[in-house]
Structure 1
């Protein structure tokens, strides 16, 4: 099982360069970074974990800039977002960012995507909340058009692009959604809570699921597998990657029994000394 990590990197924590080097030296497989452009101070949206929203949410580094630094000082470390708020981006620009990072890193990128939780943050980006799922699907379709080897256009309800020259292309090879339906671009995992809407989206346009916290997988993974196979996807290709996990030996053993091949462990948003201390504690799971 591959053991990756995630952390809220901020202007007060360990730097991307120091953390990436430490991860690769110790044999961890990857680094995933979250995204928030800003957190409106006046808001009605409750924090997803309950209580007060931790300060690091409003201090988070841009994940693509930080992962670019991590790519430059490593050779094997996989680089992921967890998650990219796709609806809040110009998809033409996001396609360029993701393809450039995949190109410069030699194909090491995982694009973790999702729908978000902060209504006010999304509104400042011009996103009407009820449309966010459809926007993500439409934006991803446009991005994949730009990642296609031939000039391909896309016209959708929320975003359009004419057939264009768009390079660099992602390094990662196309996968098959179904016969005749190639999936272009970096490995894509969708984050979110188990449910029919989420599982239908995963089966429709992703490589797998990024379940936050990793709870309830005994019940939910078989349901996702049924949705995946009903969509004509190869059952061997489904990827489920528990995310932001606080590990225990029993929990990690359970994931192995479920046949999962990667787990992303949660590091504290903290200065270098504390992060490395926790990282060394995670070494038992490598």
Structure 2
């Protein structure tokens, strides 16, 4: 089982280049970074974990810039977003960012995709909340059209692109794409349509959900098996063994948003599971 790490990197934490080197030296598989462009102080939307929203949410580094730095100082470490808020991006510009990072890293990039939870943040990007899922779907299809080998057009209600020259291309045609969200028929249909797998938070109740995802995958005519990467897991030997027995091959463990000393102590603690 591959163990990757996720952390809120901010202007107050360990730097991405330092962290990336330490992860690779210890044998961790990858680095996943979350995204928030800003957090409106009105705070009308409750925090997803309940209680006050942690300080790091409003201080997060741009994941693409930070992951570019991480990729530049490593050779094997995979780099990933956990997650990119696609509804808050211009899809043509995002397609270029993704393709460039994947190209420069030698195909080491994974695009984690999320619908978002902060209504005010999305609204400042012009997102109408009730349409965000449809918006994400169409923007993903625009990006896939731009990554295609031959100029390909896509026309939708929320996003369109003409057949275009768009380089560089991702190394393998498209980066590995994982869609985050709560288990359910709608989410799994979307995974099967435009992603390579699912990025669930934690691993609770995964056994039953995996069967439902596999059914949706097969119904969409997809070959093979969907990738499932439990995210923000607090690892233990028993938990990792259970996930392994379910067929999970990669887990993303959560690390505190902290300075260098605390982060490195946590990595040393997690290294027992590698």
- C-alpha deviation, 1:159, in angstroms: 1.3
Runs of 4+ in 1 over 3 A off after TM superposition: none
Matched ranges for 1:53-132 at <5 A: 53-132=53-132
CA distance in 2, matches of 1:60, 1:142: 27
Equivalent residue number for residue 237 of structure 2: 249
Matched ranges for 1:214-229 at <5 A: 214-229=203-218
- C-alpha deviation, 1:169, in angstroms: 0.4
CA distance in 2, matches of 1:225, 1:217: 12
Pick one of 238, 261, 268 that aligns with 2:226: 238
CA distance in 2, matches of 1:147, 1:127: 24
- C-alpha deviation, 1:129, in angstroms: 0.2
Contiguous gaps of at least 5 residues in structure 2: none
CA distance in 2, matches of 1:2, 1:278: 17
CA distance in 2, matches of 1:143, 1:262: 26
CA distance in 1, matches of 2:236, 2:25: 23
CA distance in 2, matches of 1:3, 1:43: 34
The reply to whether residue 186 of structure 1 matches residue 175 of structure 2 is: yes
Give the TM-score taking structure 1 as reference length: 0.95
Q: Helix, strand or coil for the counterpart of 2:48?
A: coil
Give the TM-score taking structure 2 as reference length: 0.99
CA-to-partner distance for each residue in 1:37-66, whole Å, 9 max, x for gaps?
A: 000000311000000000000000000000
The reply to whether residue 211 of structure 1 matches residue 181 of structure 2 is: no
Q: How many residues align?
A: 274
Equivalent residue number for residue 162 of structure 1: 162
- C-alpha deviation, 1:237, in angstroms: 3.0
Equivalent residue number for residue 272 of structure 2: 284
CA-to-partner distance for each residue in 1:106-146, whole Å, 9 max, x for gaps?
A: 00000000100000000000000010000011000000111
CA-to-partner distance for each residue in 1:8-48, whole Å, 9 max, x for gaps?
A: 00000000000000000000000000000000000311000
- C-alpha deviation, 1:230, in angstroms: 1.3
Q: Helix, strand or coil for the counterpart of 2:101?
A: helix
Contiguous gaps of at least 5 residues in structure 1: 174-184
Equivalent residue number for residue 188 of structure 2: 199
The reply to whether residue 16 of structure 1 matches residue 16 of structure 2 is: yes
